[in-house]
Amino acid sequence: MEKTDMMLIEQIKAMLEEKELQYQVDDEDGIVAAGFPRFNCLYHVREDSLDFRLLINKEVPEEYTGEMLKLLNHINGITKDGHWELMDNHIYYRLYTNRVHNKEVSDKRIAEIFGKGGVAAELFYTGMEMVCEGIVSGEDAFEKLIMKRLMEE
């Protein structure tokens, strides 16, 4: 692993320590992972990018995947940095940061990535949960729950 990659891993660890969060590190694959009650997230340090992935700890039943796709598409419409997707009945948020043209990723950016994923996951969780349980449609979850909360904030 290159020196810049090692440095980036150290920066990520420092950010998580500052927030007093528990994490696991896989130095060989360049992965730093942290688990939370509602989601797990990981940073993947790659030669050409820093990939951030957040997985919501809730499986989407097959019959509600269509509604969940509608909800995620609505959320993507208001999310600038990163996007949400559904893979194997699980909801992911992914954010890609290019490193080819800028090997160094600032501490500010690392914290910002973490903040975007975490805040979004908390903000959208109730809507996602209710769609998973078939309580509301994707459309209603977005308009009546998420947009309402966004307006309040």
Give whichever of 24 and 98 is closer to other proteins, judged by the CB atom: 98
CA 100 to CA 32: how far, in whole Å?
20
Q: Does residue 147 interact with other proteins by CB under 8 A? A: no
Alpha helix locations (H) across 56-146?
A: 65-78, 107-132, 138-140
Q: Does residue 137 interact with other proteins by CB under 8 A? A: no
Q: Collect all residues with Cβ–Cβ distance below 8 Å to 16 and sequence separation of at least 6.
A: 23, 32, 34, 114
The residue within the footprint of other proteins, chosen from 15, 41, 50, 72 (CB under 8 A), is 72
Would you call 73 exposed, middle or buried from its count of C-beta atoms within 10 A (0-12, 13-18, 19+)?
middle
Minimum distance, C-beta of residue 137 to other proteins, in the bound complex (Å):
12
Q: Does residue 63 interact with other proteins by CB under 8 A? A: no
Q: Does residue 62 interact with other proteins by CB under 8 A? A: no
CA 60 to CA 92: how far, in whole Å?
12
Q: Does residue 4 interact with other proteins by CB under 8 A? A: no
Interface residues with other proteins (CB under 8 A) are: 49, 51, 66, 69-70, 72-73, 76-77, 80-81, 83, 85-87, 92, 94, 96-98, 100-102, 106, 108-109, 112
